Amino acid sequence: MGRPARVEPFARRIVDWQRAHGRRDLPWQGQRDPYRVWLSEIMLQQTQVATVREYYVRFLQVFPDVQALAAAPLDDVLALWSGLGYYSRARNLHRCARAVVELHGGRFPASSDALAQLPGIGKSTAAAIAAFCHGERAAILDGNVKRVLARHLGFDADLAQSGPQRALWVKAQALLPESDAMAAYTQGLMDLGATACTRNAPRCGACPVANGCEARKTGRTALIPAPRPRKALPEKSVTWLLLRSRGRLLMEKRPAPGLWGGLWVFPEAPGRDVRGHCRRSFGCEIASRTPLAPLEHGFTHFRLHIRPLLCHVAQKPFPSAPGRQWFAVDEAAAAAVPAPVRKLVLSLAK
Ligand code: SF4
């Protein structure tokens, strides 16, 4: 069955543009190693390229292959992920590595359908791995690519809804080139979304598919994809107890799954009676308390206001126990901790 007339020009232009003008200097580019492609795709979800670069290189130094990652304790994986956010990605990464080793003999399956069965690998990530590593004709549809395709096609339905999403997948699949160009095409769409067809200020003059772009022709680039209504995020407040005893800081491991699951976080004060709480829960008397500068941390679904309270412990407290540990300050900075905890730890190290 023949394809629509616009198919080949669109893919051809994306491929040619990628080869001439696409990004060249990303450490994960030009890879056919599924482990490295997978790692970069997971890290790039929700996170800027500039941030991912450093994490990606460091991660590979410690875990150069899927066997090394599968054999590592989750704590070590979370420690390397610390500061990158969205920690369920790291937990799934670890589960996925173990599944690849245990179920697939240490080799990622080749097809996007089989890849999408693994923990933490969604349809678009599976397609990217299969396209880059095996040339499979599978369409990706991450946030950037959704925007490029929706604008190009003049597709103005609400992409938060599953029906329009499914329809866009079908259209994305119909635009694919032959498999020998799949890697360049997939990379080209990603590059176009990141560098030219940006959310707020698309540079249509630099776009290889500007001629056929419905959003540009009809002056609707600001309306496609349909902007999501902005909801005011709920606010939450918490007091963190930075219990310091003989140069060590007490932290508790958050249960997983859950917010910051598997990470070490300072204990929270359940109410105003900090001294009584510390006596009952940690076996320690507080000699003095110093409020530190408050912090804010944004999650996708709420904003957290953190009031840190540095508490000097007067007598020997309860020792470390499962899920509760006294860390030397330099150990705490290198442990699996979320960004605001690390910030506080580093401020105490100065
Ligand atoms: S012409 Fe403009 S809006 Fe259309 S795909 Fe290119 S950069 Fe995006």
CA 149-155-159 angle, to 5 degrees, is: 85
Q: Is residue 88, in this structure, part of any structural domain at all?
A: yes
Q: Report how far ligand 1's centroid is from the alpha carbon of 188 (Å).
A: 13
The CATH code of the domain that includes 67 is 1.10.340.30
Q: Which atom from ligand 1 is nearest to the alpha carbon of 192? A: 7
Q: What is the bridge-based pairing of β-strands 264-265 and 235-245?
A: unpaired
- Write down the number of H helices and E strands in the chain: 15, 7
pLDDT value, residue 272: 86
Residue 110 domain-assigned (yes or no):
yes
| Same-domain pairing of 242 and 190 | no
Q: Is residue 230 part of a domain?
A: no
Task: Note the pLDDT of residue 140.
Answer: 97
Mean pLDDT per 10-residue interval, the chain, length 350 residues: 52 96 90 95 94 96 98 96 94 98 98 98 97 96 96 94 95 91 96 95 96 96 88 93 94 92 95 90 92 94 96 86 92 94 92
Give the integer Cα–Cα distance in Å for 350 and 184: 47
Same domain (yes/no): 180, 260: no
Assign residue 253 the CATH number of its domain.
3.90.79.10
With the most atoms of ligand 1 within 8 angstroms of its CB, the residue from 204, 217, 224 to mutate is: 204
Query: Would you say residue 228 lies in a domain?
Result: no
**Do both 283 and 170 map to the same domain?**
no
270 and 174, same structural domain? Answer: no
Q: Which two tokens stand for residue 124?
A: 């678009």
CA of 221 relative to ligand 1 center, distance in Å: 7
Shortest-distance Cα residue to atom 2 of ligand 1: 204
- As given in the structure block, the two tokens for residue 195 are 């560098």
pLDDT value, residue 31? 81
Q: How far apart are CA 233 and CA 350, in angstroms?
A: 34
Same domain, yes or no, for 251 and 182? no
* 46 and 178 housed in the same domain: yes
Pocket of ligand 1 (CB under 6 A): 148, 151-152, 196-197, 202, 204, 207, 209-210, 213, 215-216, 221
Residue nearest to atom 8 of ligand 1 (CA): 197
Q: Phi, psi (5° rounding) for residue 57? A: -65, -45
Do 170 and 46 lie in one domain? The reply is yes
Q: Which residues pair with 268 in a beta bridge?
A: 240
CA of 149 to the centre of ligand 1 (A): 9
Residue 255 · residue 241 · CB < 8 Å: no
Residue nearest to atom 1 of ligand 1 (CA): 210
- Whether the full predicted model's pTM is greater than 0.85, yes or no, is yes
Give the distance (Å) from ligand 1 centre to CA of residue 217: 9
In a domain, 168, yes or no: yes
d(CA 98, CA 195): 35
Q: Are 342 and 82 in contact (CB under 8 A)?
A: yes
Tell which residue, 144, 136, 55, 79, has the closest CA to residue 333: 79
Check whether residue 250 and residue 123 sit in a common domain.
no
Indicate the SS3 state at residue 190.
helix
Residue 23 is part of which domain span? 7-140+164-194
Probe target for ligand 1 pocket from 149, 197, 217, with the most ligand atoms within 8 Å of CB: 197
On whether both 74 and 171 belong to a single domain, the answer is: yes
**114 alpha carbon to ligand 1 midpoint, in Å?**
33
Separation of alpha carbons 115 and 108, rounded Å? 7
Looking at the CA of residue 207, tell me the nearest atom of ligand 1.
6
Question: In 3-state terms, what secondary structure has residue 263?
Answer: coil
Tell whether the torsion through CA atoms of 109, 112, 114 and 119 is positive or negative.
Answer: positive
Atom of ligand 1 nearest to the CA of 213: 4
Which of 277, 274, 263, 272 minimizes the C-alpha distance to 318?
277
Question: What's the domain count of the chain?
Answer: 2
Residues serving a catalytic function are 41
